[in-house]
Amino acid sequence: MATKTKTMTAKELAAACGVDPKVLRAWLRKEYPRVAEAKNTTWVIPANVQAAAKKAFAKNKADSAKA
Question: Per the domain annotation, does 2 fall within a domain?
Answer: no
pLDDT at 67 over 50: no
Predicted local distance difference test score (pLDDT) of residue 59: 80
Which residue segment(s) compose the domain that 19 sits in?
10-66
Q: What number is the average pLDDT over the span 56-61?
A: 82
Answer for the pair 46, 13: CB distance below 8 angstroms, yes or no.
Answer: no
Amino acid occupying residue 4: K
Q: Could you tell me the pLDDT band of residue 18, with boundaries at 50, 70 and 90?
A: very high
End-to-end CA distance of the chain: 42
Question: Per the domain annotation, does 5 fall within a domain?
Answer: no
Give the count of domains, the chain. 1
Question: Per the domain annotation, does 51 fall within a domain?
Answer: yes
Q: What are the φ and ψ backbone dihedral angles of 49, each rounded to 5 degrees?
A: -75, -35
Q: Rounded to an integer, what is the distance from CA 21 to the centroid of its chain?
A: 8
Predicted structure pTM score: 0.78
Residue with the larger pLDDT of the pair 46 and 62: 46
Residue 32 CB-density burial (10 A; 0-12 exposed, 13-18 middle, 19+ buried): middle
